[in-house]
Amino acid sequence: MTEVLATGLTKKYGTKSALRRIDLRVESGQFVTLLGPSGCGKTTTLRCLAGLERPTTGRITMGERIVVDIERRTFVPADKRHVGMVFQSYALWPHLTVAENVAYPLKVAGVSGGDRRARVREMLAAVGLSELETRPVTALSGGQQQRVARARALAARPGIIFFDEPLSNLDSKLRYQMGQQVRALHTQFETTSIYVTHDQEEAITLSDRIIVMNDGAIVQDGRPEELFDRPNSPYVADFMGFQNILPGIVASVKDGVADVRVDDTAMVVAGAVTSDVRTGDRADIAFRGVHVKPVRESATAAGRFRATVERTTYLGTAVNLLVRADGLPLRVRLETSDLAAGEIPLDGETWTFQVNPARAVVLPRDSADDRYQTTMTDAVVTP
């Protein structure tokens, strides 16, 4: 296991800044995920750490070793850093067998033939491919090729393994299975793992820490549960799956809970305060569809609203709703186990709902947040 420390990391392509003074620390043995949309800088950060890109400025240390110090003109290439890499495309040698692909980094490192064969067998057993040792990699499924790529990355027993969206080419069921194996191998071989993805569910299930990036900078860094429950901005809330993000004015603040009057509506929604806000401040109230429940008319007014169902999507264990309240489209997700038989809301019906104030989040607002004014897309809601 090896600690990774980067300070003042920047990367420019001409006049465009891909990274803006990144400072990060990955402790020895941690599994850390860089999360964000395309173009946010996560892959560029990974490639700079792995030695596949030369930063414009900054310093990187791995353990006690300085691998990058631009000011002192120090740059250790990737093949000298003793790291493993799993690429999105897997980057396997198509003319080699499974065993030959896994053995390649050992051969480059000068590991003797007997030790090399033993290590290859160990790695293939670890990823469940012992019986495919002599098969050409071109004859494997996508999931099998992904496992070969992981076995190859682990073969030389590196202290650090980098993953660049390795599961993005797999179907959802296989992604989950392969993700669990990625995490199990991380624990088994006691590596430090740095993982890139745009999938928030993948990041939450695999990581010890998540670093959310935007426009070449880190915008939030914390444990999965911190980012999932308490994002620090509308940008992070949107990316972490808060389907409803509404702008408004703080009407009152008491005991860590604020009432937010939603712009151009009569709705007042209560939520937990994550930073200093005062009565009269502009703020967003963010909540997930799963934190909205149907209630009786007599329910407490705070967070309650009447809405017309515009679309119902039945999922078996849950129902996703697109509803409209005071002209605003909102997302609601109801578990069918919480509904009486035959009680599923139908298109055109009007229901009363209430937002759980313990799960909604109040976020201070600035001009940079203007694009996060309500639900983002008509995609199927996830909890």
- Indicate the pLDDT class of residue 170, thresholds 50, 70 and 90: confident
pLDDT at 380: 38
pLDDT at 300: 56
pLDDT at 299: 53
- Indicate the pLDDT class of residue 295, thresholds 50, 70 and 90: confident
Mean pLDDT of 22-28: 96
Mean pLDDT of 87-93: 85
3-state SS, one letter per residue, for 47-112: HHHHCCCCCCEEEEEECCEEEEEHHHCEECCHHHCCEEEECCCCCCCCCCEHHHHHHHHHHHCCCC
Give me the sheet containing 65-69, strands edge to edge.
16-26, 4-13, 57-62, 65-69, 74-75
3-state SS, one letter per residue, for the chain: CCCEEEEEEEEEECCEEEEEEEEEEECCCCEEEEECCCCCCHHHHHHHHHCCCCCCEEEEEECCEEEEEHHHCEECCHHHCCEEEECCCCCCCCCCEHHHHHHHHHHHCCCCHHHHHHHHHHHHHHCCCHHHCCCEHHHCCHHHHHHHHHHHHHHCCCCEEEEECCCCCCCHHHHHHHHHHHHHHHHHHCCEEEEEECCHHHHHHHCCEEEEEECCEEEEEECHHHHHHCCCCHHHHHHCCCCEEEEEEEEEEECCEEEEEECCCCCEEEEEECCCCCCCCEEEEEECHHHEEECCCCCCCCCEEEEEEEEEEECCCEEEEEEEECCEEEEEEEEHHHCCCCCCCCCCCEEEEEECCCCCEEEECCHHHCCCCCCCCCCCCCC
Dihedral sign of CA atoms 186, 187, 191, 197 in order: positive
Percent of the chain surpassing pLDDT 70: 93
- Indicate the pLDDT class of residue 362, thresholds 50, 70 and 90: very high
Average model confidence (pLDDT) for the chain?
Answer: 89
Contact criterion met (CB below 8 Å) for 84 and 160: yes
pLDDT digits (tens, 9 = 90+) for 265-290: 989 999 999 788 899 999 999 999 99
pLDDT digits (tens, 9 = 90+) for 50-79: 999 999 999 999 999 999 999 999 999 998
With respect to CATH, is domain 4-229 assigned 3.20.20.450?
Answer: no
Whole-angstrom CA distances from 168 to 164, 280, 331 are 9, 44, 26
Task: Quote the pTM value.
Answer: 0.85
Percent of the chain surpassing pLDDT 90: 70
- Indicate the pLDDT class of residue 113, thresholds 50, 70 and 90: confident
pLDDT at 62: 96
CATH superfamily of 243-369: Nucleic acid-binding proteins (2.40.50.140)
Domain boundaries, the chain: 4-229, 243-369
Mean pLDDT of 157-173: 88
Contact criterion met (CB below 8 Å) for 193 and 164: no
Q: Which span out of 99-108, 360-369, 374-383 was modeled with the highest average pLDDT? A: 99-108
Q: Which of 82-86, 298-302, 309-313 has the lowest mean pLDDT?
A: 298-302
